[in-house]
């Protein structure tokens, strides 16, 4: 392995060790939970009782469906979305930190764990949630451009939905890794 690769690996290992602490997991759970509640309330306010939520907008893929979602929000929905989107920019680092720290926390509970026992998968899943966050930012920025500039371009809508799809895929993969680590530790403690 080259020197730069070893240096990068050592940096990731130091970050990983910082993410294994109880304080890291508690803070990330609290912040992510709070933001989830706030964003769900905004979504309900924006869509109203019969409107389609932001998830429908994220995965619209076509101009027609995008416009259908926007129309379902009613007259003030787009304005609520644009006034509160800044809160959605806080959410990606919160859930990325949670999805990085949770597996690290449980991995650290395994018997015989040390900084030397960190494997490549641990490093990948330390970084992968932040890749999901970057796709989330891409999606948010494209939605702002579409709605502020009334630029209902099919390609931009498709790009926003593609970014959202990749984000959701990465989040699901990260959740799977978290559950794998959790059940490994649980089995070790029960066995």
Between CA 21 and CA 35 the distance in angstroms is: 22
pLDDT tens figures, 63-97: 999 999 999 999 999 999 999 999 999 999 999 99
In which residue ranges of the chain is pLDDT below 70?
none
pLDDT of residue 85: 97
pLDDT of residue 112: 84
- Nearest alpha-carbon partner for 32 in 84, 125, 102: 102
Neighbouring C-beta atoms of residue 90, cutoff 10 Å: 13
**Domain chopping of the chain, boundaries:** 3-190
| Residues near 26 by beta carbon (within 8 Å), at least 6 away in sequence | none
Helix (H) or strand (E) holding 47: helix 22-47
pTM of this prediction? 0.93
- Tokens coding 74: 């009613």
Q: Are 122 and 181 in contact (CB under 8 A)?
A: no
């Amino acid at each position: 392995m080259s020197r730069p690769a070893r240096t990068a690996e050592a940096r990731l290992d130091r970050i990983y060790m910082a993410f294994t602490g109880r304080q890291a997991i508690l803070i990330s759970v609290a912040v992510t939970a709070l933001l989830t509640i706030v964003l769900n309330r905004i979504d309900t306010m924006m869509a109203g009782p019969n409107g389609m939520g932001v998830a429908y907008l994220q995965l619209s893929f076509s101009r027609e469906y995008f416009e259908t979602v926007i129309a379902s929000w009613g007259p003030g929905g787009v304005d609520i979305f644009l006034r509160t989107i800044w809160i959605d920019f806080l959410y990606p680092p919160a859930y990325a930190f949670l999805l990085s720290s949770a597996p690290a926390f449980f991995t650290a509970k395994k018997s015989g764990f040390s900084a030397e026992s960190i494997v490549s998968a641990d490093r990948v899943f330390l970084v992968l949630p932040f890749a999901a966050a970057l796709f989330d930012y891409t999606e948010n920025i494209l939605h702002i451009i579409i709605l502020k500039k009334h630029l209902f371009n099919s390609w931009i809508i498709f790009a926003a939905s593609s970014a959202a799809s990749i984000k959701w895929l990465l989040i699901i993969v990260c959740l799977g890794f978290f559950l794998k680590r959790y059940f490994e530790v649980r089995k070790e403690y029960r066995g």
